[in-house]
A and B are shown apart, each in its own frame.
Chain A
């Protein structure tokens, strides 16, 4: 989600490289996020190669911001 917040979209390989995780790991996390409509998935072909692109939905952005705020609150309250 962090990556999708500051990039309009990111494709599968870019996410895999940035997060240093396996194909399967990324796929299952992406599926979960897609299920709650936090991200949008676009599949297309670039030439003959399939390409999967992810972008954050407005719901996803909202929830992410709430998550950050919650983290900040927790940090502040335990200081």
Chain B
């Protein structure tokens, strides 16, 4: 028996292990797009927040009254739009990549990935809403970053392992953000925007470019 046979054996084993447990069609492009949506969303959110500042400083001069509840709702709407756009784009791009690999998109490993990603994420989302209810608005941005990071770390076992690092970075950013309450939006923009663009870009160039 030749060495190459043994090497092929090991390669085959590793391939089967990955194929059955990791979702390998996750597209790096979706990371870049998600990052861009986040940055755009942050820009709109910034404008919403400006309205609050203008309100407080202009008193009765402007007849246009935006209550802070409206602002909160608008911010939530912006956040929801960003998330939905990111998910939809992610699905479309990943489906394309899965078809290129000859894999079905929604197989066992994809479902496992989704469940493991969504558990910490949903928990974080609910927790953030609770925090909002309690009035600790300044902690919302750090909390969402931290839980999102935890979700990434957990999901990394079920897809490309590098997601772990995006997770770590986001967690650390979130923890740092707790010390700079008031700059939550900027941390959000960096964490969800810039980090994702960098991560998505790296993944795309490292993995998808070379296979063409």
Asked if A pairs with B, the answer is yes
Binding site secondary structure of chain B: helix
| A75 adjacent to B19 (CB under 8 Å) | no
Q: Interface residues of B, CB < 8 Å — how many? A: 15
Chain A interface mostly? helix
Contact across chains for A68 and B3 when beta carbons are under 8 A apart: no
* Chain B 3-30 near chain A by CB (<8 Å), digits 1 or 0: 1001101101110110111000000000
B-facing residues in A1-36 (Cβ within 8 Å)? 2-3, 5-7, 10, 14, 18-19
- Cβ–Cβ contact B19 & A71, under 8 A: no
Taking CB as reference atom, which chain B residue is nearest A4?
B20
Q: Does B179 contact A (CB under 8 A)?
A: no
Beta-carbon contact of B6 and A75 below 8 Å = yes
The answer to whether B9 and A7 have CB atoms under 8 Å apart is no
- Tell me the A residues contacting B by CB distance below 8 Å: 2-3, 5-7, 10, 14, 18-19, 68, 71-72, 74-75, 78-79
6 closest A-B pairs by CB: A2-B16, A2-B13, A3-B20, A6-B21, A6-B17, A78-B3
